[in-house]
Structure 1
Amino acid sequence: MHKFKELEIWKKSRLYCSKIYSETAIFPLEEKFGLTNQLRRASVSIASNIAEGSSRSSNKDFSRFLEIAIGSAYEVETQLLISNDLGFLNEDKVVELTNELNEIIKMISRFRSTLKLNDV
């Protein structure tokens, strides 16, 4: 079992989620239950899956939750690109948020690769 509050991947993911909330606050009101909600939920899912996975009794289970967190990160990236397509976020902001997201993905992947998956 890992202490998720001590994991840099969780800390960075949590801060990133706050940024997504700030950026989506400017989205059109009619997107409140659409893209705004989707982006927020996916960004929350990154940190949440890291935390939930850390409570599992095996590294194999934890690794699976980290894989889900990475999937949520790619979901966020797609939604950022759509936000740009729709004119809700400018390209510079999307590049900035995507670069930060890619760093989180790399950190999660590196951490995941250090887990010994054959322990119980």
Structure 2
Amino acid sequence: MAKIESYRDLIFWQQAMDLAISIYEATRTWPKEERYGLTAQLRRAATSVPANIAEGYGRESRASYQQFLRIAQGSLKEMETHLMIARRVGITSQEVAEGLMSRSESVGTLLRLLIRKLSPE
């Protein structure tokens, strides 16, 4: 197993980064009138996930790290909600939304596992 020397070595941070990039790619073709609406909100939520993982990793305490992981988890749920809205209003396809949701759930599972592992016994 590789030694963790930075948040960049964390698998779930890497997956969260890849997901954020995929969100940018998926929203590139969305209607221009959504640029400051749903597109911006979805992108902001998606980039917040790896950013909060990284920020929490840089904190000095376990409790603070957990709190930032919880914020990342909340941003993930916000992102999923924006995706569901985009699907319902016809901005994105079912296939694209499901693929992104599946990847989001994978990141969420890893986040929950780490939050539990960091919890005091």
Shorter-chain TM-score above 0.5: yes
Structure 2 regions of 5+ residues with no counterpart? none
Contact 1:60 1:117 in 2 (8 A): no
**1:101-112 matched pairs, under 5 angstroms:** 101-112=104-115
Looking at structure 1, the residues matched to 120 and 20 of structure 2 have their Cα atoms a distance apart, in angstroms, of: 28
Looking at structure 2, the residues matched to 14 and 59 of structure 1 have their Cα atoms a distance apart, in angstroms, of: 22
- Does residue 100 (structure 1) correspond to residue 118 (structure 2)? The answer is no
**Helix, strand or coil for the counterpart of 1:38?**
helix
- Does residue 82 (structure 1) correspond to residue 115 (structure 2)? The answer is no
Paired position in structure 2 for 1:21: 24
Looking at structure 1, the residues matched to 120 and 44 of structure 2 have their Cα atoms a distance apart, in angstroms, of: 28
**What percentage of aligned pairs have identical amino acids?**
32
Q: TM-score, length-normalised on structure 2?
A: 0.92
Deviation for aligned residue 1:116: 4.9
- Does residue 42 (structure 1) correspond to residue 50 (structure 2)? The answer is no
Q: In structure 2, which of residues 94, 106, 109 is the aligned counterpart of residue 91 of structure 1?
A: 94
Deviation for aligned residue 1:112: 1.5
Q: Aligned pairs, how many?
A: 117
Looking at structure 2, the residues matched to 12 and 34 of structure 1 have their Cα atoms a distance apart, in angstroms, of: 25
Paired position in structure 1 for 2:14: 11
Deviation for aligned residue 1:9: 1.0
**Helix, strand or coil for the counterpart of 2:36?**
coil
**Helix, strand or coil for the counterpart of 1:51?**
helix
Looking at structure 2, the residues matched to 83 and 40 of structure 1 have their Cα atoms a distance apart, in angstroms, of: 12
Q: Deviations over 1:69-101 (max 9, x none)?
A: 000000010000000111111112111111110
Looking at structure 2, the residues matched to 117 and 68 of structure 1 have their Cα atoms a distance apart, in angstroms, of: 19
Looking at structure 2, the residues matched to 109 and 83 of structure 1 have their Cα atoms a distance apart, in angstroms, of: 26
In structure 2, relative to structure 1, the CA distance for the partners of 1:116 and 1:84 (3 Å cut) is closer
Contact 1:59 1:117 in 2 (8 A): no
Structure 1 regions of 5+ residues with no counterpart? none
Deviation for aligned residue 1:117: 4.5
Q: In structure 2, which of residues 59, 63, 76 is the aligned counterpart of residue 60 of structure 1?
A: 63
